């Protein structure tokens, strides 16, 4: 499904349809899954963007059929809104209004003001064809609602619809003034998006710097660890050498003591072994 969405976003509609179809083939046998409902809606949107409105209607109806009122009632709003839009694009306003009037109470029941606003916007576009003044009043109310919700993108859509009606009525002054407001709002949206993009790039830059610092710290720690290991090895070697030297010194000292003792014993033995025979003087007597 994700591959289908990606291809839809970049305009590869045929590939998007292929991926959505494959996703439907491997979806559970129980077709009342939210994922299946979304797939039908997505396929309908792709066909709509391709200008194949009848195919779009077919898949929106499938989504609506699978979104049973007792289990998936909130999901019916998207299917009904999409189907209504397809009817509008094929000049079938009666069926479009039928879908919108069915979806509108659901947006209030489940508290989805954005969907409510879009439905009112579609209803105003239909009403403007026969009664532009009523449509204009509706859009003014919707515009106030979007301002309270701070839905800037929706505000621009409502303003554009109002500009079209003002032009239809020949009220070019109000159309021009509202168009300036719309452009100003679009600029602010653009600036906000740019700021978000800059903030995102800054965050990525900070993250990269943090990663580089972590890598440097890791390398430094590894280097310090190697240095500590070398010092430990040297210390162990020196300790071992000192132990060996001490042992050798102790052993040599003991040997020297034994040798000295042996020499002393030999010296005593030599002194006690003197000649015992008569002296020359005694012999002469």
Quote the CA–CA distance of 131 and 52 in Å, as a whole number. 29
User: Model pTM?
Assistant: 0.62
Is residue 64 within 8 A of residue 80, CB to CB? The reply is: yes
SS3 at position 156: helix
Quote the CA–CA distance of 24 and 127 in Å, as a whole number. 37
Is residue 80 within 8 A of residue 103, CB to CB? The reply is: yes
What is the rounded average pLDDT of the residues 247-251? 77
What is the rounded average pLDDT of the residues 77-99? 95
Structure confidence at residue 70 (pLDDT): 78
Q: What is the pLDDT of residues 30-55, one digit of tens each?
A: 555 778 899 999 999 999 999 999 99
Give first-to-last CA distance, the chain, whole Å: 143
Quote the CA–CA distance of 8 and 217 in Å, as a whole number. 44
Would you say residue 273 has pLDDT above 60? no
DSSP string, 202-258: HHHHHHHHHHHHHHHHHHHHHHHHHHHHHHHHHHHHHHHHHHHHHHHHHHHHHHHHH
Q: Which tokens hold the place of 250?
A: 């102790």
Q: Which of 22, 25, 29, 28 is nearest to 7 (CA)?
A: 22
Quote the CA–CA distance of 79 and 167 in Å, as a whole number. 32
Is residue 41 within 8 A of residue 74, CB to CB? The reply is: no
Beta-strand runs (E) in the chain: none
C-alpha to C-alpha distances, 278 to 22, 157, 281, 285, nearest whole angstrom = 135, 149, 8, 11
DSSP string, 220-232: HHHHHHHHHHHHH
Q: What is the pLDDT of residues 106-158, one digit of tens each?
A: 998 988 888 999 999 999 999 999 999 999 999 999 999 888 888 888 899 99
Give just the sign of the alpha carbon dihedral 117, 168, 92, 40.
negative
C-alpha to C-alpha distances, 225 to 194, 222, 230, nearest whole angstrom = 46, 5, 9
Mean pLDDT in the chain? Answer: 83
Is residue 182 within 8 A of residue 163, CB to CB? The reply is: yes
Q: Which tokens hold the place of 161?
A: 């619809």
Lowest mean pLDDT among 7-21, 27-41, 184-198: 184-198
């Amino acid at each position: 499904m994700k591959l289908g969405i990606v291809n839809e976003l970049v305009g590869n509609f045929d590939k998007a349809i292929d991926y959505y179809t494959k996703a439907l083939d491997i979806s559970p046998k129980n077709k009342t899954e939210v994922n299946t409902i979304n797939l039908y809606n997505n396929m309908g949107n792709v066909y709509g963007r391709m200008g194949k409105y009848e195919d779009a209607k077919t898949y929106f109806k499938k989504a609506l059929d699978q979104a049973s009122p007792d289990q998936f009632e909130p999901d019916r709003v998207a299917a009904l809104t999409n189907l209504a839009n397809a009817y509008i694009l094929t000049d079938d306003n009666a069926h479009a209004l039928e879908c919108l009037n069915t979806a509108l109470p659901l947006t209030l029941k489940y508290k989805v003001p954005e969907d409510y606003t879009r439905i009112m916007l579609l209803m105003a576009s239909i009403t403007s064809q026969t009664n532009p003044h009523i449509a204009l009043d509706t859009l003014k109310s919707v515009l106030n609602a979007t301002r309270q919700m701070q839905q800037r993108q929706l505000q621009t859509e409502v303003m554009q619809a109002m500009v079209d009606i003002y032009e239809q009525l020949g009220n070019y002054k109000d159309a021009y003034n509202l168009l300036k407001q719309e452009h100003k709002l679009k600029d602010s949206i653009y600036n906000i998006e740019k700021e978000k993009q800059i903030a995102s790039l800054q965050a990525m830059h900070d993250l990269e710097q943090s990663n580089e610092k972590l890598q440097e710290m890791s390398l430094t720690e590894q280097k310090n660890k190697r240095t500590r290991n070398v010092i430990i090895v040297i210390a162990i070697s020196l300790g071992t050498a000192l132990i060996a030297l001490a042992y050798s010194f102790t052993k040599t000292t003991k040997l020297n003591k034994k040798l000295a003792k042996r020499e002393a014993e030999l010296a005593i033995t030599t002194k006690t072994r003197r000649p015992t025979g008569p002296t020359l003087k005694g012999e002469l007597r």
